[in-house]
């Protein structure tokens, strides 16, 4: 049995992950309008991954016979007024999501909900990777982004990213 508090946090995380997908779609749209299709591709794939995360929480609750309640998805609230602002907003958002995952983990730990902790282990690792990716992108932009040729190359690199389904299967 999942505790009421853990259940509430897991259910809320479905919404948070769909919001993440929505936020990254907004980022992708920003770069598409800028003519930077590679950056747009990178964030479009990021959005697909977030949708996958949402579905993992959704499926986990269903598998545990816990009710799923879907709520309204908030409007993307980041102000996107420069390329670097978008990249920084991405990092801040991932740090926020890491905190959310840690909060659910803490709640599960407190009630010795080992199954939920094991489920969340994948997300703990995933958040480490998400923060690394967001940081790396900022570093590359700082190094190469101010030069048109550098920006062109970086755009090419990000355009090569392909979607792959999450390694966690429920």
Catalog residues that contact Mg ion under the rule CB under 5 A: 50, 53
For the CB of residue 123, give the shortest distance to Mg ion in the complex, in Å: 7
Tell me how far apart the alpha carbons of residues 135 and 51 are, in angstroms, rounded to a whole number.
22
For the CB of residue 12, give the shortest distance to Mg ion in the complex, in Å: 13
Q: Which is nearer to Mg ion, 90 or 154 (CB)?
A: 90
Q: Which is nearer to Mg ion, 52 or 157 (CB)?
A: 52
Which residue's C-beta sits nearest to Mg ion? 53
* All residues at 6 or more sequence positions from 10 whose CB lies less than 8 Å from its CB, including other chains: 2, 57, 60, 61, 66, 104, 116
Q: Using CB atoms within 10 A of its CB, is residue 72 exposed (0-12), middle (13-18) or buried (19+)?
A: exposed
Tell me how far apart the alpha carbons of residues 130 and 160 are, in angstroms, rounded to a whole number.
18
Q: Which is nearer to Mg ion, 19 or 30 (CB)?
A: 19
For the CB of residue 147, give the shortest distance to Mg ion in the complex, in Å: 32
Structure tokens at 60: 């986990």
For the CB of residue 126, give the shortest distance to Mg ion in the complex, in Å: 7
Q: Which is nearer to Mg ion, 109 or 122 (CB)?
A: 122
- Any idea how long the chain is? 170
């Amino acid at each position: 049995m999942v505790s009421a508090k853990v259940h509430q946090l897991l259910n809320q995380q479905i919404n948070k992950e769909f919001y993440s997908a929505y936020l990254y779609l907004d980022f992708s749209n920003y770069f598409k309008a800028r003519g930077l299709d590679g950056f747009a591709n990178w964030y479009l794939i990021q959005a697909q991954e977030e949708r996958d995360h949402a579905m993992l929480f959704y499926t986990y609750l269903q598998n545990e016979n816990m009710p799923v309640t879907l709520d309204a998805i908030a409007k993307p609230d980041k102000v996107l007024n420069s390329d670097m602002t978008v990249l920084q907003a991405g990092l801040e958002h991932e740090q926020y999501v890491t905190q959310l995952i840690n909060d659910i983990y803490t709640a599960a730990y407190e009630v010795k909900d080992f199954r939920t902790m094991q489920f969340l282990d994948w997300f703990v690792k995933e958040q480490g990777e998400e923060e690394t990716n967001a940081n790396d992108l900022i570093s590359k932009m700082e190094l190469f982004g101010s030069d048109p040729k550098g920006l062109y190359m970086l755009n090419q690199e990000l355009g090569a990213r392909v979607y792959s389904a999450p390694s966690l299967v429920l």
